[in-house]
Amino acid sequence: MIPANAELSRLLPDLFTAERSVRRLHAQLAKSDPAALLTALSAAVDAAVAEQDEDEVALRLVRIAGLLGELEGPKTVDLLIDILGCDEPEARHAAGEALEELAFDRFKEVALGVERALERLEVGSPALAELPYLLAAVPEPGVKKLLGKFLAHKDAEAVAAAIEALVEMGDGTAASMLTALEKDKRDVELEDEEGEEGRVTIGELAAEARKLLLAADGAVDEGPAEPEAAAPPPPRRAPGKR
């Protein structure tokens, strides 16, 4: 039922009151003992993902991600990556923002967490396809090495995301990292700038990405001969539809 004008005038102040309560409670929790808070948040993540209601899952994980953004350390990074791997886009967005901010301040911590994630997350985890885009936004020398680890992963979506992240970074020296993938027949579904979806092989994606990187670097492509069909340019995607 659509609220009447009189009810709207009542609901808006209620919304503002609720928001003040959220901010007050967030600040109160953020000031608590970090170790105790982290333990409580870890349990809260487990409880949230066990919920059946998708809206409730998203609501809880968004708030948890916001509080985790106030903390630091390996467990914090692991929990944020776990949220990044959930099925709720809103929660993934919140976790991605918190992780990215943490990566700017404490890159080594996040890098080590990403390396752990590559080992512990199952193929198909949304986080594996989200992390490369997040890393590409961080101006650290170690990002290229981390993306190289994604290129070697069994998860095709993670490989595709790493290829696109390297193109986004525009570092021509990364072109050689893609040569070994040009015969990879695994295919992935990608979305272009117009929102059209289509399938492309990892090999096609890698070949076109390598050309783009070499062109950006002013180098000459001395790689394999052109395939009979030209590969489409790497589509642009954003993690969690961010």
Question: How confident is the model over 139-160, as pLDDT tens digits?
Answer: 999 999 999 999 999 999 999 9
Q: How far apart, in whole angstroms, are the C-alpha atoms of residue 79 and residue 64?
A: 9
Q: What does the pLDDT look like over 42-88, one tens digit per residue?
A: 999 999 999 999 999 999 999 999 999 999 999 999 999 999 999 99
193 versus 39: the higher-pLDDT residue is: 39
Q: Are 220 and 214 in contact (CB under 8 A)?
A: yes
109 versus 194: the higher-pLDDT residue is: 109
Of residues 76, 92, 75, the one with CA closest to residue 84 = 92
- Checking if the pLDDT of 1 tops 60, the result is no
Q: Are 77 and 98 in contact (CB under 8 A)?
A: no
229 versus 180: the higher-pLDDT residue is: 180
Beta bridge partners of 75: none
Q: How far apart, in whole angstroms, are the C-alpha atoms of residue 178 and residue 181?
A: 5
Q: What is the predicted pLDDT for the residue at 235?
A: 46
Q: How many CB atoms lie within 10 A of CB 49?
A: 17
Q: What is the predicted pLDDT for the residue at 28?
A: 96
Of residues 162, 167, 108, the one with CA closest to residue 140 = 108
Angle at 189 between CA 183 and CA 195, to 5 degrees: 130
Give the contacts of 37 (CB within 8 A, at least 6 positions apart): 29, 30, 67, 71
Beta bridge partners of 189: 199
Q: How far apart, in whole angstroms, are the C-alpha atoms of residue 18 and residue 12?
A: 10
- Checking if the pLDDT of 230 tops 70, the result is no
Q: What is the pLDDT confidence band of residue 211, given thresholds at 50, 70 and 90?
A: very high
Mean pLDDT of the chain: 89
